[in-house]
Amino acid sequence: MASPNLSKSPTVDRKPPPAHLYELSTYGAFNRRLVLGFNGVQKIMVTGTSLRASKEALRLTRIYPGMLYSTAGKPLNRDVMPDMSCAKESRYKNKLCKFIHTLYIAHFMLSGIQPHDAKSWEEGYMEELRDVAASPECVAIGVCGLDYNRDFSPPDVQREVFEKQIQLACELHKPLLVHERDSHEDLLEILDKYKDQLPLVVIHCFTGTAEEAQRYLDKGMYIGLTGYLCKDKSDTGVRKLLEDGVIPLERLLVETDSPFMYPNTKASKLPQHVKDGLTKRSLMFLTRYCSFQRNEPCSLPTIVEMIAAFMKKPPEEVALSTAFNALKVFGLSQ
Residue 323 CB neighbour total at 10 angstroms:
30
- Please state whether the peptide bond connecting residue 259 to the residue before it is cis, i.e. omega within 30 degrees of 0: yes
- Residue 184 labelled as part of a binding site: no
- Residue 257 labelled as part of a binding site: yes
For residues 111 and 54, the answer to whether their CB atoms sit within 8 Å is yes
For residues 185 and 148, the answer to whether their CB atoms sit within 8 Å is no
Output phi, psi for 295, to 5 deg.
-70, 145
Distance CA 180, CA 218 (A): 17
Measure Cα distances from 325 to 115, 149, 330 in Å.
26, 29, 8
- Residue 13 labelled as part of a binding site: no
- Please state whether the peptide bond connecting residue 143 to the residue before it is cis, i.e. omega within 30 degrees of 0: yes
Which residue numbers belong to the known binding site for a divalent metal cation? 179, 204, 257
Which residue numbers belong to the known binding site? 179, 204, 257
